[in-house]
Each structure stands twice: as C-alpha cells, then as structure tokens.
Amino acid sequence: VSMAAADSGKEAVVIPVLSLASPAKINVFLRILGKRPDGFHELASLFQAVSLQDNLHFERKDDDDTARDSMECNVAGIPTDDSNLILKALAVFRERTGCTQKFHVKLDKRVPFEAGLGGGSANAATTLWAVNEMCGRPATDEQLAEFGAQFGSDISFFLSSGTAYCTGRGEILRSLPPLTKPSAMFIVKPNFGLSTGKVFQTMDYERLSKRDPELLLNEIMESANEGLISPAACLNDLEEPSFRLEPKMGELKTKLASFGFDIVLMSGSGTSFFCIGRPHALLLGTGERDPRNMSDVLRTILGPAFPGVFVEQCTFV
Ligand code: C5P
C-alpha cells in the first residue's frame, strides 16, 4: 500500500509496525499570567524534555471496516479505553486526515501519571507522529501540532525538538537551542497525584510571582550557557496552590532542599519535583560517593515519611 506524502508529494512506503520512545518533560519555570475567557489560563513556561520515558509500539490492524483501535498497558490503573489520549489521538488523526487505518498500541509505562511530567500528552504526540509516518505522512508536522492542541495544551511541545518557550495555553512554541545537560538530576514523586484542573482552580491570583517571564527566560538561557541554570529563575506559580491542596508537597520540597541540591522545583501542576545538582548534604551524611547509587539512597531516606516514593535519575534530551 502507498499514499501521497503531505510534505513531498511523492509516493511513500507504508510502515507495518513502529516502536518509539515517548519522553517526559519538566517546566524549568512556569508563570501563570491570568485566566482567559475560554476557562484556560494564559501561561509562559520553559519546557524541557527529559530521558525518563515511556515506550510505545504501534501495529496496523488488518483493513476491516469493523476493526476498532485498541491498546494495552503494562501498568494497572492506566485507562485503556477511549479516555486514554492515545486512542483520542488516533480518532483525531483519522477525523482530520480522512485516513481509515486502525491500530493496536502497546504502552510500556515508566513515566508516573498525575505528576506534571506530561506523560499522557507525550503519548498522544508520539501517537500522532507515529501513525502519520505509518500512513505515508498525510499531514505535515505543523498540522500534527494543530491536531494535538485541539485536545491537550502540552501536546504540541512533544512534537518539538525538546527545548521550547511555551505560551498561550502552552501550545504556542518558540523552539530554543538545547540546554546544557545537568551534572546530576532526579525526578521525585510522592505516591499520590493531583489533577491539573483542580490545581488551576485552587490558584489565588494575588499570590502569583509577577516576575517577567521573558526576563526569567533570558536569565536561564544565559546561565545555562555557563553550565548551571540559575536557581533564582526556576519558579513555578502552581507550587503554591498544589501545596495548599496537599501539605505533604511542601514537606517533600523542604526535605529535598535540605539535601543540598542546586534546584528543587515542582514540575507542571505536580506532584513530581525535579532536583538538579548533587545532593551534597546527603552525600556527606551517608558516606555515599557514587552518584549512580543516589536514587536508592534517596528512596531509603524519604521512605519513612513518603512510603512508595518514586525516584529516578535522568537528564535532559
Ligand atoms: O490541556 P490539558 O488537558 O493539559 O488541561 C487540563 C486542565 O488544566 C484543563 O481542563 C484546565 O482546567 C487546566 N488548564 C488551564 N490552563 C492551561 C492548561 C490547563 O486552566 N493553560
């Protein structure tokens, strides 16, 4: 089978199966600028993709009008019905391109959910990109980003090169050069999550930081060139409402900061934190010298107050 590719006008080869990584993101800073008439919030944020990732495997179903898309997942608790953004992405793709192909998708989930890491949006973006390739590219990259923005604010970012200044609802992108990889970085998430909508609803406009996002961006890009992102420019306006909803979040941040990282900041609407730098105070306390063992050390030390805490070392991609 072959179809006309949108960007070349040439015949394209159709791919029967495809396996792809679906990376998470962090928000190096996140400013909320106000509420919009459509109920969403105007934001300004520096998004960075990280190496913590899910894997997705796509298979074409036999041509059959009665076939339905389907998916499976290695983790219990992840919906595999139409509420999953993977199946939503397949439906939107077909609706917008006129393509009739159905798919089966295997999701190998590693990125925690309700974590502010964009896991579901990344899966949707990866799905749009994958099935477009597998169907002979009926849509351009710009069109894929537009399809994604229809059903999730972060989806366009995951179709970018991995570092971007995002505004509007989060779907307007300015692509940036890659940030220098940190010497060490950890993602830490307690065993509970928070719904993004609820965190936005809890926000108190009087308590927003009021810092100019363009200045934050300049400060970060300049400091990143010199090797360490400026901790003073890493702030997230959604920390305050998240900490009010879940006081344990504030406790976790204080505890992580006491370990001596350069930066500890909540990502998105939580409940994960990213920690950049080496936890010098913790290394001194435990006698541990090898940063490769630090995830285990962090899990053990946080365990009594935060049972089931997720800790994973990763880097920028
Ligand atoms: O677009 P997404 O599905 O990520 O948004 C989830 C919820 O977060 C929205 O329903 C909305 O309540 C809130 N949100 C917002 N402003 C944004 C992004 C999300 O209010 N820019």
Give the residue, out of 45, 195, 196, with the most ligand 1 atoms within 8 A of its beta carbon, to mutate for a pocket test: 196
CA geometry: angle at 274 spanning 211 and 130, to 5°?
100
Q: Look at residue 14 in the predicted model and tell me its pLDDT.
A: 73
- Name the phi and psi angles at 310, rounded to 5: -95, 130
Nearest CA to ligand 1 atom 12: 197
pLDDT band at 121 (very low <50, low <70, confident <90, very high): very high
Is the predicted pLDDT of residue 289 greater than 70, yes or no? no
Q: Strands across the sheet with 310-313, in order?
A: 263-266, 273-276, 185-189, 310-313
Centroid of ligand 1 to alpha carbon of 153 (angstroms): 7
**Average pLDDT for the chain:** 92
| Ligand 1 residue neighbourhood (C-beta within 6 Å) | 40-41, 43, 152-154, 169-170, 196-197, 200
Residue 278 CA, chain-centre distance (Å), reads 23
pLDDT in tens, 15-39: 889 999 999 999 999 999 999 999 9
Q: Look at residue 2 in the predicted model and tell me its pLDDT.
A: 37
Nearest CA to ligand 1 atom 15: 40
Please say whether the beta carbons of 251 and 239 come within 8 A.
no
Is the predicted pLDDT of residue 4 greater than 70, yes or no? no
Q: Look at residue 278 in the predicted model and tell me its pLDDT.
A: 85
Q: What is the mean pLDDT of residues 251-275?
A: 97
Nearest CA to ligand 1 atom 20: 40
Centroid of ligand 1 to alpha carbon of 158 (angstroms): 16
Centroid of ligand 1 to alpha carbon of 317 (angstroms): 25
Nearest CA to ligand 1 atom 10: 197
Centroid of ligand 1 to alpha carbon of 269 (angstroms): 10
Nearest CA to ligand 1 atom 11: 197
pLDDT in tens, 209-230: 889 999 999 999 999 888 889 9
Give the residue, out of 40, 123, 195, with the most ligand 1 atoms within 8 A of its beta carbon, to mutate for a pocket test: 40
pLDDT band at 279 (very low <50, low <70, confident <90, very high): confident
In 3D space, the residue among 37, 34, 43 whose CA is nearest the CA of residue 269 turns out to be 43
Please say whether the beta carbons of 239 and 266 come within 8 A.
yes
Please say whether the beta carbons of 240 and 204 come within 8 A.
yes
Catalytic residue numbers, as ranges = 25, 154
What ipTM score was computed for the predicted complex, to two decimals? 0.95
Is the predicted pLDDT of residue 3 greater than 50, yes or no? no
Indicate which atom in ligand 1 lies nearest the CA of residue 43.
Answer: 21
In 3D space, the residue among 204, 276, 298 whose CA is nearest the CA of residue 243 turns out to be 204
Q: Write down all domains in the chain, each with its CATH number in brackets.
A: 2-175 (3.30.230.10), 185-313 (3.30.70.890)
Indicate which atom in ligand 1 lies nearest the CA of residue 201.
Answer: 12
- pTM to 2 decimals? 0.93
Q: Which residue has the higher pLDDT, 11 or 158?
A: 158
pLDDT in tens, 60-97: 998 776 789 999 999 998 999 999 999 999 999 999 99
Give the residue, out of 41, 153, 171, 236, with the most ligand 1 atoms within 8 A of its beta carbon, to mutate for a pocket test: 153
Centroid of ligand 1 to alpha carbon of 312 (angstroms): 26
Centroid of ligand 1 to alpha carbon of 298 (angstroms): 31
Burial class (CB in 10 A: 0-12, 13-18, 19+), 307: exposed
Q: Look at residue 12 in the predicted model and tell me its pLDDT.
A: 60
